Amino acid sequence: MASLKMPFHLPQDLNGKLEMPMVIIKFHILLLDHLVKREEYRMIISAMVRIQANTCIRFIRRTNERDFINIESVDGEGCFAYVGNHGGRSSMNLESSGKASCMFHDIVIHELLHSVGLWHEHMRHDRDKYIKVHYENIARGKTYEGIYEIRQK
């Protein structure tokens, strides 16, 4: 069986179980007739439960906190989430229209993970040590053209 080699040591308790501090993420879902439907609401909650089961991240409904993720479904806006906490309200959109839909379990998880601060691996500053991006295979003038640029440290 292969083992994962870490370049650092994660905190462990006396039994060798990882001790990770809980990361609390406050959220609000706009549950209006045209913004997020009940079945979509359940999918968002299900995605949060899946993340919570496998990480130290905990999602808690916002009451009056200043910093929170505002999740909605606005037609024509696509799937997006601001990466990380910038203070105040952070937007996340999960479009679910006749033209497009982000309401797939893995897409919802993907956007939630952006909202807690995770970027794509192919944008890492050191990615060229590990992968080669074939720019000649990326269609010019498309909206996804710029997503292969390297983020600065």
* Tokens representing residue 137 in the block: 């295979």
Does the annotation place 120 within a ligand binding site? yes
Does the annotation place 28 within a ligand binding site? no
How far, in Å, CA of 83 to CA of 72, rounded?
A: 16
Are the CB atoms for 94 and 119 separated by under 8 Å?
no
How far, in Å, CA of 10 to CA of 108, rounded?
A: 28
Are the CB atoms for 30 and 48 separated by under 8 Å?
no
111 is catalytic: yes
Q: Given 39, 65, 111, 121, which residue is catalytic?
A: 111
Does the annotation place 86 within a ligand binding site? no
Longest dimension (CA), the chain: 55
| Strand 89-94 versus strand 68-72 pairing type | parallel
Q: Which residues are annotated as a binding site?
A: 110, 114, 120
Write out the catalytic residue numbers: 111
Q: Which residues are annotated as a binding site for Zn(2+)?
A: 110, 114, 120
